[in-house]
Amino acid sequence: MSHSSIDIVSPVAVPRTIRIDGSWVLLALIAIMALLPLVASPYVLLLMLPFVGYSIALFGFNLLFGTTGLLSFGHALFLGVGAYTAAVLTSKFGILSFEIILVAAAVISALVSVVIGGLCVRYTKIFFGMLTLAFGMLFHSFLFKFYAVTGGDQGMRVLRPLLLGMEWRGGKTAFLTGAFYYYALTLFALMGLTMWRITRSPFGLHLRAIRENAPKAAYVGVEVFRMRLAAFVISAVYGGIGGTILAVTTGLADPELAYWTHSGNLVFMAVLGGSGTFVGPAIGALVFVVLQDFVMALTQYWRFVMGAILVCLVIFMPQGLAGTIELLFSRRDREA
Amino acid sequence: MTELVDVVLGGIFHAAVLFLVAAGLQLVFGVQKIVNLACGSFYALGAYFGITAVGIAIKLGMPPVLFFPVLIVAGLAIGLVGLPIERVLRTVYRRDESYQLLITFGFLLMFQDAFRYLWGATPRTMDNVYLAYGTAHFLGVRVPTYNLLVIAASLAIAAVLGLFLERTRIGRIVRATAENRDMAEGLGVNASRIFALVFTVGCMLGTVGGALVVPSGAASLDMAVELVVESFAVVVIGGLGSMRGALVGALIVGLMRAFSISLMPELEMLSVYLVVVAVLILRPAGLFGKATA
């Protein structure tokens, strides 16, 4: 599998031709998204919001999965943490400022993930996956059963937040496709570019070294446990922020957000786009959201279609969409 | 006292069924090193198919008393879907385990809608047949005889499975393949045939489990995804790949659930996950697992 888009830049001479790497694709995606409201219908714009939420969560997820090589099967837990933070702050405490909600979601996710990560990252492979799944389900059954605190299966309402301290009037759709759309897009850009910096930093290099060979990395001085924990915490913060966007979009925080099949969907998106590339997971989120919407409109048996797509994907295109395109390009380069 | 016996019996009944599914999961993991997320779907498949099979049998004029063997045969028969699924899984044996996990997740999604298509979204029950065997008195408690039959059947299956793996020639070959596939192949074992056999048997354990549980409850779309986590809990507590672990893990999870439901319903699954987390922290390989992590 090729990882060229997330390899660090070599300090040698900058190549004269502009290489199309992950950051360019990300910028192009942001530009298209910014212009989208000029042409697209509110329906399409509403579809873009979950995409933005999932992409942010997936940037974090893939720092763990693609970069560090740890497959979490309980990452939806942090979507739940973010969503319920938004719900509790807006409907129980009357705190409507979205900036405060974001900070709170990030801080709570970080705190939760330090505890969970501290226990989980000592294990790798299937053990890590099962342990994260157990914690995810632990959180889910807490949300589901403690009706008085969490609203049980009914979930909790998420009220319309203030953006930059300002109140936004108008209908729900107008708010979501207008001010909130651009706000979410700005967050997407900031979080995406930050993650680009993180993966290309020495820290990112440490994580890749751990993925390739943890004992060897430890031998040359990488603090494996601390680095894995740091990656886990960062991915949790991304998950929490993604979760608040999802919650504001639907206006509801419900336990299904933290259910293990939702974690499975996150893995699905990452692999669909290509977890070996930087923008792959974001592209995976886009394709997943659009595809699911499309298939749901066609048939009520959309899960069957999505499942079949997943099976075919794993068998025939394990590099995902972005990875396959990258492979095609690199093959052409070699031939040229 | 009678209350205690009641709760314990309920827990053991649940454990008996849970053991079958978890044993399937263990067998497949032990030999093929694949964690099969679709094991819950096999369980649900057995349950739905069991209802249909008993319905047909009764329509053909079979006395309701015979429904127990009908369920077992139905479970074994539908378990054969494991064969075609193994053919597809075969393509990813040499891949990274995240892909193997994901492909079984794909199967789970597909099964979910297949059930919805074939049997509808509303839960299906097998109303009156359950009591065809009457009730028995056990330490002063009235229990449906059927529950005791299921517990006995589960123990019998555990014994047969143990004898098969420990005492027969094929069982030895299966264990050798689990230990070292390449070496076994070098000695002339047809590993792909063994894999097909193991996966199908694993699948049958799940479908029989589902078929046996359905008379006392209902077949619903949720049962697949819910049971996956429970059987995960069993194998994590017992240790991945260990049959003895599956037995003990199933008992722990079954009793844990029964007790928390009667004492503090909010803790139903929470208590199970807490045990899982505690085991993973204290004994990461599980109670009977090999010390690898």
Kindly state the DSSP code that residue A168 receives in the 8-state scheme: -
- Give the residue from B115, B222, B229, B268 with the most A CB atoms within 10 Å of its CB, the best one to mutate: B229
Q: How many CB atoms lie within 10 A of CB B156?
A: 10
- pLDDT tens-digit map of B275-288: 888 887 787 777 77
CB B184 within 8 A of CB B175: no
- pLDDT tens-digit map of A215-227: 888 888 888 899 9
What CATH number has the domain spanning B2-282? Answer: 1.10.3470
For chain B, what are the domain ranges? 2-282
Closest-CA residue to B221 (of B62, B130, B115, B66): B115
CA nearest to B91 within chain A: A315
- Alpha-carbon distance B115 to A328, whole Å? 39
Residue B202 pLDDT: 92
Q: In sequence order, what are the residues at sequence separation of 6 or more whose Cβ sits closer than 8 angstroms to the Cβ of residue A106?
A: A237, A240, A241
Beta bridge pairs of residue A163? A166
Residues of chain A with Cβ-Cβ distance to B267 below 8 Å are 145
- pLDDT tens-digit map of B182-218: 888 888 888 888 899 999 999 999 999 998 888 887 8
Q: Which of B95, B105, B293 sits opposite A310 (nearest CB)?
A: B105
- The answer to which of A155-169, A269-283, A311-325 has the lowest mean pLDDT is A155-169
Task: Sort residue A18 into left (φ over 0), alpha (ψ -120 to 50) or beta.
Answer: beta
Q: What confidence tier does A231 reach under pLDDT thresholds 50, 70, 90?
A: very high
Residue B223 in this model has a pLDDT that exceeds 90: no
* Position with higher pLDDT, B128 vs A237: A237
In three-state secondary structure terms, B35 is: coil
CA nearest to B87 within chain A: A315
- pLDDT tens-digit map of A43-66: 888 888 999 999 999 999 999 998
CA nearest to B266 within chain A: A145
Beta bridge pairs of residue B142? B137
pLDDT > 90: what percent of chain B? 20
Q: What confidence tier does B290 reach under pLDDT thresholds 50, 70, 90?
A: low
Task: Work out the mean pLDDT of chain B and round it to a whole number.
Answer: 85
Which B residues in the span 88-117 are in contact with A, Cβ-Cβ below 8 Å?
88, 91-92, 95, 97-99, 101-103, 105-114, 116-117
Kindly state the DSSP code that residue B241 receives in the 8-state scheme: T
Helices then strands (H, E): number in chain A? Answer: 15, 2
Residue A242 pLDDT: 94
ipTM (interface pTM): 0.85
Q: Which of A134, A145, A267 sits opposite B268 (nearest CB)?
A: A145
CB A86 within 8 A of CB A248: yes
- Alpha-carbon distance A266 to A210, whole Å? 23
Question: pTM score, two decimals?
Answer: 0.86
Q: What is the mean pLDDT of residues B120-131?
A: 77
